[in-house]
Structure formats: C-alpha cells, structure tokens
Amino acid sequence: MQFIDLAAQYQHLKQRIDKRIQTVLDHGHYIMGPEVEELEQRLAEYVGVKHCISCANGTDALQLTMMVLDIKPGDAVFCPTFTFFATAEVIAYAGATPVFVDSDERTFNICPQDLEKRIQAVIAEGKLVPKAIIAVDLFGLPANYPELETIAAKYGLKLIEDAAQGFGGEINGKRAGSFGDMATTSFFPAKPLGCYGDGGAIFTNSDEYAALFRSYRVHGKGKDKYDNVRIGINSRLDTIQAAVLLEKLAEFPTELIARNRAAVNYNESLATKYITPLVPEGFLSSWAQYTLISENRDAEMARYKAEGVPTMIYYGTCMHQQTAFKQLAYTDDDLPVASRLAKQVFSLPMHPYLRKSKN
Ligand SMILES: *Cc1c(COP(=O)(O)O)cnc(C)c1O
C-alpha cells in the first residue's frame, strides 16, 4: 500500500498527460509557454479570484508575498507554530520576526484567540511592528478566515493564506486561495493538486499586487523585460509542469469527491478509537492529510505497519522547537496545544485512488 499513490493517478490520466507534455515538446516554449497562461486563467476561475500568478514552488510563492508587502527587519509576522517549515522560514528570510501562535486542538489550524493575544503582546512590548498574518490551511482544511479577517482588519494587518495544502477546500462555498489579501499554493507532487516536479502559485484580487508579483517573479522586471525596476527573483513555473497541471486540474473535482469519500470511511471506522479530524459546519477539506490524534501514537503506528499500512507524522516538530528558531526562546508551555499535537498526531494513507490500489 502507498501513502500517496501517484502512480495510480498517472495510470488513470496517462493518455491525457502524455499528450499535453508532447504538445509542449513539439512547440518548444519551455519557459512561459502558452500552457502557463492557460493554467493561470483556469486556476483563477476555479479559485474564484481575479489573478493567479504561477511560480516555481510554494515556498517562493510565500517569499514573494513578503517581497510584495515589503516585510523587513523590525516587522512581526504571525504564523502557526504547527505547520511546515516554509511558512515561518520566509518570514525570517525577509529579516522579519516570526511570532508563533498556538493551534486549535480540533482543527489543527491557527487559534484566533491565541493570535489576538499575541498581537496585543507585541503591541504592548513595542519592539516590533505588527505587519501581517500567515494562516495555513493545514491538512486541507481552510483556517478560520471569518474570524482571522476580523482580527486582521481590527489591527490593520495584512492576511496571507498559505493554501499549499488547502487547494480545493472551501468555507461556505468560497474556495481556498480566495481568503485574505493574497493566497499561495504549492504543486509539490504530494499536495492535493501536484505536478511532476516543483511548482507554485499566488492568488489575489488586487491589480496592484498582481502587477508586483509578476515583476518580482522575473527579476523585478519593468515594462521592458531588460529594464529591471526592483530587485526580484527568478521563479517561474515550467511549461511542462503547467501542461501536467492542466490535465490534473480537469480531474481534480472528481478526485476531491473520492478524497472526501475516503475520509468519511475513515471517520466511520476510526471514531471510537481515536480523535478523528473535525471539519466545522460550512467547511470543506481537500484532505491533503488524514490525521488522527492518539495518546499511544507509537504503538498505533507499529500496529498499522505490521498490517502493511504506511503512516506518517505531520508534524513531529513545531516551529518553536526547530533548531533554526532556537534564539526566539519559546518553550512548549508557551504553545501547549501545538506541542501536545506534535507528540500525538499521525496520518493515514490519503489519495483519490485508495480503493483501486491493492498493494
Ligand atoms: C508544502 C508546503 C509549503 C511549501 O511548498 P513547496 O512547493 O514545497 O515549496 C509551504 N507551506 C505549507 C503549509 C506546505 O505544506
């Protein structure tokens, strides 16, 4: 059994994907070819925003948000401690200070109450300038944007949605990628919508931000390609990856139904043994991961392993526990919920072809 069965998906889509890749090989526009723009349009339509700007990976997408918002030394950017490293990394890479926030114990996402406390603490201390919040749609479930948007507005902070895992999720019919001032996603192969290498994208309704993202992604270009008006990076999505994604996006709604069916089946058979993942009323998860909570995690994982079922831990180390952030001097008592989750969570195989894969 595979934890994520990309081979089964490829077998299902092989003819369409091979044909799309062949088209790129025939026209030869490997960088910024026509498939890139076609994909950006389809993604913007799917998510329901005005602009989609593709880039090289989900981390660059987040880094570009820091550049567009001019995040710099002396700024505070709030993010969950229970997330993938890239969320916090881009804040520190911009020279700003990540301020870690505890999690909601049932949704695994950033806790709005704890967020507000930490914003107030930073303001009271007066050393850093609160600038932005990066919320994460952990394991496919959108964060609590109705509450986060209220807090961001109250304190005049920009809100960034890290939808690297969240693509396909919804809150009351509004799709992941459309929350906050700007959103990012990743097309790393194992994400809900993945390509066959690295890839990423940014979503926004703002014309001004979109123009800045398009400039920063190609060396800070101006109107003329060889007139560089700001310092940017080189972060483009390869045309071949866009071609793969166009076919995968067409199949994505069907796959989402299969993911949800798999999650419902898991919930029904596991609810008496573990704390199963909570999807609040009105929310829809894209099930990037199916994550359980158990006080006997090691024993449970060993039992699954003996049955030939692979399991994984996302995440065993919170941001405040990372060596790279040691100098920020948080303790587990500062972030008790996330610290406990890191000791108790484990994830089961989750992909749209679970029924079809036999080994
Ligand atoms: C995967 C991931 C990223 C980074 O995406 P890459 O494409 O691997 O750079 C950022 N944030 C979260 C929450 C992720 O899961």
Instruction: Answer yes or no: is the C-beta of 167 below 6 A from any ligand 1 atom.
Output: no
Q: Which residues, in sequence order, are CB contacts of 356 under 8 Å at separation 6+?
A: 8
Instruction: Answer yes or no: is the C-beta of 86 below 6 A from any ligand 1 atom.
Output: yes
Residue 358 has pLDDT above 50, yes or no: no
pLDDT band for 225, please (50, 70, 90 cuts).
Answer: confident
* Residue tagged 């660059």 (tokens): 60
Give the position, in ligand 1's atom list, of the atom nearest the Cα of 59. Answer: 9
Q: To the nearest whole percent, how much of the chain has pLDDT over 70?
A: 99
Instruction: Answer yes or no: is the C-beta of 134 below 6 A from any ligand 1 atom.
Output: no
Helix axes 58-68, 85-93, angle to 10 degrees: 40
Instruction: Answer yes or no: is the C-beta of 91 below 6 A from any ligand 1 atom.
Output: no
Cis amide linkage into residue 314, ω under 30° from 0: no
* Residue tagged 């989609």 (tokens): 52
DSSP string, 75-108: EEEEEESSS-HHHHHHHHHTT-EEEEE-B-TTT-
Question: Residue range 256-263: average pLDDT?
Answer: 96
Give the position, in ligand 1's atom list, of the atom nearest the Cα of 86. Answer: 10
The CA 267 to ligand 1 mean position distance, Å, reads 26
pLDDT band for 53, please (50, 70, 90 cuts).
Answer: very high
Q: DSSP character for 131?
A: E
Estimate the share of the chain in helix, then strand, then coil, as percent rounded to the nearest 5. Answer: 45, 20, 40
The CA 86 to ligand 1 mean position distance, Å, reads 6
CA angle 113-185-261, nearest 5°?
80
The CA 272 to ligand 1 mean position distance, Å, reads 32
Q: Please state the three-class secondary structure of 267-325 as a single string.
A: HHHHCCCCECCCCCCCEECCCCCEEEECCCHHHHHHHHHHCCCCCECCCCCCHHHCHHH
Query: Tell me, what's the pLDDT at 210?
Result: 98
Note the pLDDT tens digit of each residue in 307-353.
Answer: 999 999 999 999 999 999 999 999 999 999 999 999 999 999 999 99
Nearest CA to ligand 1 atom 7: 58
CA distance 339 to 336: 5
CA angle 200-204-208, nearest 5°?
115
Return the minimum-mean-pLDDT range out of 84-88, 225-229, 267-271.
225-229
The CA 292 to ligand 1 mean position distance, Å, reads 21
pLDDT band for 359, please (50, 70, 90 cuts).
Answer: very low
Nearest CA to ligand 1 atom 6: 58
CA distance 21 to 243: 6
CA distance 246 to 42: 8
SS3 161: strand
Mean pLDDT of the chain: 97
Domains of the chain: 6-100+108-247 (3.40.640.10), 253-356 (3.90.1150.10)
Nearest CA to ligand 1 atom 1: 164
DSSP string, 134-151: EEE-GGGPPP-HHHHHHH
The CA 44 to ligand 1 mean position distance, Å, reads 19
User: Could you tell me the pTM of the whole model?
Assistant: 0.97
CA distance 191 to 185: 9
CA distance 66 to 97: 12
CA distance 34 to 238: 11
